Amino acid sequence: MDFKELTSRFVIYGNYLNSIPFGNGHINDTFLVTYNQAGVNTRYIIRKINKNVFKQPKIVVNNSVKVSLHIKNKLLNYDEGDISRKTMTFIKTHDNKYYYKDGDGDYWCMVLFFEGAYTIDYVKTKEQAFKSAKAFGKFQKQIIDVDIKGYKETIPGFHKLPERLLAFDKTMDINPVGRLKFIDPELNMVNRNRDISEEFSELMKSGAVPVRITHNDTKINNVMLDNETDEGLCVIDLDTVMPGIVLNDFGDMVRTSTSPVAEDDEDISKVKTRLDVFEALAKGYLGQLAGLLTKTELDKLVFGAKLIIYEQAVRFITDYLAGDVYYSTSHKNHNLVRAQNQFALLESVLENEKEMEKIVKKYSKI
**Residue 53's binding partner out of Mg ion, ligand GN1, none, with CB under 5 to 8 Å set by partner kind:** ligand GN1
Q: What is the pattern of x (binds Mg ion, CB under 5 A) and - over residues 253-282?
A: ------------------------------
Confirm or reject binding of residue 25 to ligand GN1 (CB under 6 A). yes
Instruction: For residue 8, give the nearest of 107, 112, 100, 103 by alpha carbon.
Output: 100
Written in H, E and C, the secondary structure of 125-154 is CHHHHHHHHHHHHHHHHHCCCCCHHHCCCC
Question: What residues numbered 199-238 form the site for Mg ion, per CB under 5 A?
Answer: 217, 237
Span near ligand GN1 by CB under 6 A; candidates 22-30, 80-88, 96-104, 112-120: 22-30
C-beta separation of 115 from 43 below 8 A: yes
The residue count for binding ligand GN1 (CB under 6 A) is 11
**Residue 165's binding partner out of ligand GN1, Mg ion, none, with CB under 5 to 8 Å set by partner kind:** none
Euclidean distance between the first and the last CA atom of the chain, given in angstroms as a whole number = 52
* Residues contacting residue 357 through CB under 8 Å, at least 6 positions apart: 302
**Residue 347's binding partner out of ligand GN1, Mg ion, none, with CB under 5 to 8 Å set by partner kind:** none
Of the candidate residues 312, 318, 329, 341, the single one contacting ligand GN1 (CB under 6 A): 312
Confirm or reject binding of residue 249 to Mg ion (CB under 5 A). no
φ and ψ at residue 349, rounded to 5 degrees: -65, -40
Give me the sheet containing 15-21, strands edge to edge: 15-21, 29-37, 40-48, 107-112, 100-101
Confirm or reject binding of residue 329 to ligand GN1 (CB under 6 A). no
Distance CA 24, CA 27 (A): 9
Task: Please report how close the Cβ of residue 264 comes to ligand GN1 at its closest, in angstroms.
Answer: 8
Distance CA 55, CA 59 (A): 9
Confirm or reject binding of residue 53 to ligand GN1 (CB under 6 A). yes
Span near ligand GN1 by CB under 6 A; candidates 133-141, 188-196, 201-209, 234-242: 234-242
Confirm or reject binding of residue 319 to ligand GN1 (CB under 6 A). no
